[in-house]
Amino acid sequence: MLGSIAAGSGYLIWGLSVMYYRQLAAVPAFEILAHRAAWSLLLLVGLVIAFDRKAQLMAVLREPRTMGLFFITATIIGSNWLVFIWAVNSGRILETSLGYFINPLMSVLIGVVVLGERLSRAQGAAIVLAALGVLYFTVALGFVPWISLFLAVSFAGYGYLKKTIKIDALDGLFIEMLFITPFGLAYLAWIAGTGASIVPSTPLTGILLVLTGPMTTLPLFLFTYGAQRIRMTTLGLLQYLVPTTSFSIAVWVYGEPLGHGQMITFALIWTGLAIFTLDTWWRERRVAAA
């Protein structure tokens, strides 16, 4: 029970984060990302010391192949965060929620393309429905939902690569922030030198930027704690809290337009997700029974 509450809380915070970053709409997305990485790293340094993870981290830092993989994952998650923040602050939260609804199906597709896994009929139908949803969106609204596709593909790819690296979530995030932060600090130093930084405008803006650190690490810890204590099926179902929450906020809080085209697109993808989820649940029950 506690595991489900922890994982669900982590997902819920991720979903609600659209409202948090929307309060920083006046700050350029790259500046927010730079602060998010820097303050996350500072907090993670404290956690690494508190949990005595120094020896484990030093062992990883001496592995060139693992560090190379972490450089790739840092690049992917950094770009994912950048697009997400920019989309939220540009009033395109619906497209971010669409991306995270598509994400589980992209993970399945990566399994097929990269790992040579075979699709079940239900999984194949779910992916076809998602593809039809994206196609309809493109035709009906006249543009490719690149934000949704980028978020879905990048996060699915990030998840796949992270599964190939056998390392604690805390250590992994610390190393990724270690790669991102120097670029972020260099950017912050440059805009401070040119007078383009937004931070001095209000104390609240500065406080919110500092708190992007805990906003990044807290849900990760809740998720990790929960994931270690509950079934994968339960975890898979809970992940829909993220796009469902952001979808609700986009429509009911910020009044983003939900037209005919978007509704049909979401309906196709939701149907695909329902088929995918039921198939996963059924297969796990068969394995448990066997």
How many C-beta atoms lie closer than 10 Å to residue 173's C-beta? 25
* For the chain, domain boundaries: 2-289
Least-confidence region, from 26-30, 61-65, 102-106? 102-106
pLDDT band, residue 186 (cuts 50/70/90): very high
Q: Is the pLDDT of residue 287 over 70?
A: no
Q: What is the reported pLDDT for 199?
A: 57
d(CA 169, CA 224): 7
pLDDT of residue 119 exceeding 80, the answer is no
Cβ pair 21, 32 in contact under 8 A: yes
Four-residue CA torsion sign, 255, 257, 263, 268: negative
Contacts of 173 (CB under 8 A, 6+ apart): 40, 44, 216, 217, 220
Q: 204 to each of 23, 39, 118, 135, 207, how far by Cα in Å?
A: 10, 16, 51, 42, 5
Higher pLDDT, 27 or 107: 27
Res 82: pLDDT: 96
- Whole-number Å distance between alpha carbons of 178 and 174: 6
Tens of pLDDT, residue by residue over 122-154, are 888 888 888 898 888 888 878 889 999 999 999
Among 42-51, 59-68, 226-235, 261-270, the least confident range: 226-235
Rounded Cα distance, 214 and 211, in Å: 6
Cβ within 8 Å of residue 161, ≥6 positions away = 69, 72, 73, 76
pLDDT digits (tens, 9 = 90+) for 34-78: 999 999 999 999 988 988 888 888 888 889 999 999 999 999 999
Q: Which two tokens stand for residue 270?
A: 């939701």
Asked whether residue 100 carries a pLDDT value surpassing 70, the answer given is yes
